[in-house]
């Protein structure tokens, strides 16, 4: 397991993922009834943008550093900005909140969060980051398996975030299988998947498979391309795929994507939100 999210925390891809995620969880918590969340690939929880890893790439400074300096950034980033501000009371953007912090920020009585992280160092950091959070738990068990087990076990509302490192060739197949199995256990489970965009062939073929696995639930795709996809070796963009998400989330996703393309993109950058099957 080589991937460490510390190198990439707060980059453009995290900004899209986390703006969409905060909009999604906000919309789900606006409805009555407890919400259980499974974060299949949780990471370390909090990232130090002045740490060695983040400083090496500068991705966080180029992403969230830029966002926090933009007072006119759209409202879709408000929840993320508030979480960043809460971690940095002196006003300097040093610490960045990962999905576990964002997803547990406003848990209500009865809500729960389970973060899966198999790296021992990041798992230990995550336990510390979530120590004070009501209803939050951490496991070192495999995230793919845990999502299906949790879906089989409970009965209430379920949100699953799938955010693998894409280091393994079978990550795409694992996503499709997990979406199908979770939805087979829980027909109304909402599932959010983060995806890199490198080349169109891989991306399009995966979206076709995801649409089939999620059917009949609609799948909303919020994507940003920072540049035309001319070099498939680069991460040219990213997307959040939302299965069964409330309709209102699309507007926030579009707002966030447009800001990222406009502010962080190269010539030819674009953002769009589409609903598969429409």
The site for ligand SAM (CB under 6 A) is made up of 1, 3, 5, 17, 41-43, 98-99, 116-119, 122, 142-144, 163-165
Shortest Å, Cβ 32 to ligand SAM: 27
Shortest Å, Cβ 268 to ligand SAM: 26
| Phi, psi at 35, each rounded to 5° | -120, 125
Q: Which helix (H) or strand (E) holds 125?
A: helix 120-129
Shortest Å, Cβ 52 to ligand SAM: 17
The residue with its CB nearest to ligand SAM is 98
Pick between residue 111 and residue 163 the one whose CB is nearest to ligand SAM. 163
Shortest Å, Cβ 226 to ligand SAM: 18
Shortest Å, Cβ 45 to ligand SAM: 7
Cα separation of 29 and 261, whole Å?
A: 29
Cα separation of 207 and 163, whole Å?
A: 15
Pick between residue 99 and residue 258 the one whose CB is nearest to ligand SAM. 99
- Residue among 59, 68, 104, 73 nearest 88 (CA): 68
Neighbour tally for 264: CB within 10 Å: 18
Pick between residue 160 and residue 211 the one whose CB is nearest to ligand SAM. 160
Pick between residue 122 and residue 255 the one whose CB is nearest to ligand SAM. 122
* Site of tokens 């080589």: 2
Shortest Å, Cβ 162 to ligand SAM: 9
Pick between residue 103 and residue 211 the one whose CB is nearest to ligand SAM. 103
State the pairing for strand pair 157-162/219-225.
unpaired
- Which class for 27: exposed (0-12), middle (13-18), buried (19 or more C-beta within 10 A)? middle
CB contact at 8 A, 127 and 44 = no
Please, which residues bridge with residue 257 across strands? none
Pick between residue 235 and residue 270 the one whose CB is nearest to ligand SAM. 235
């Amino acid at each position: 397991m080589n991937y460490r999210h510390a190198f990439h925390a707060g980059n453009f891809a995290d900004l899209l993922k986390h703006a969409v995620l905060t909009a999604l969880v906000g919309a789900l918590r606006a409805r009555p009834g407890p919400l259980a969340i499974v974060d299949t690939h949780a990471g370390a929880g909090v990232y130090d943008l002045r740490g060695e890893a983040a400083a090496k790439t500068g991705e966080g400074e180029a992403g969230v550093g830029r966002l926090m300096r933009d007072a006119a950034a759209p409202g879709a980033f408000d929840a993320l900005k508030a979480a960043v501000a809460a971690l940095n009371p002196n006003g300097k953007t040093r610490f960045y909140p990962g999905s576990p912090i964002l997803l547990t920020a406003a848990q209500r009585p009865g809500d729960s969060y389970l973060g899966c992280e198999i790296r021992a160092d990041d798992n230990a950091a995550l336990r510390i980051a979530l120590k004070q959070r009501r209803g939050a738990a951490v496991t070192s068990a495999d995230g793919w398996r845990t999502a299906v087990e949790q879906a089989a076990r409970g009965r209430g509302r379920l949100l699953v975030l799938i955010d693998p490192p894409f280091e393994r060739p079978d990550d795409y197949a694992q996503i499709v299988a997990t979406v199908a199995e979770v939805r087979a256990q829980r027909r109304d489970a909402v599932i959010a998947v983060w995806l890199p965009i490198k080349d169109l062939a891989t991306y399009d073929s995966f979206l076709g498979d995801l649409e089939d696995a999620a059917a009949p639930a609609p799948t909303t795709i919020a994507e940003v391309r920072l540049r035309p996809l001319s070099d498939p070796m680069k991460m040219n963009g990213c997307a959040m795929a939302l299965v069964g998400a409330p309709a209102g989330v699309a507007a926030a996703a579009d707002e966030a994507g447009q800001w990222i393309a406009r502010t962080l993109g190269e010539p030819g950058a674009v953002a769009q939100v589409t609903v598969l099957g429409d």
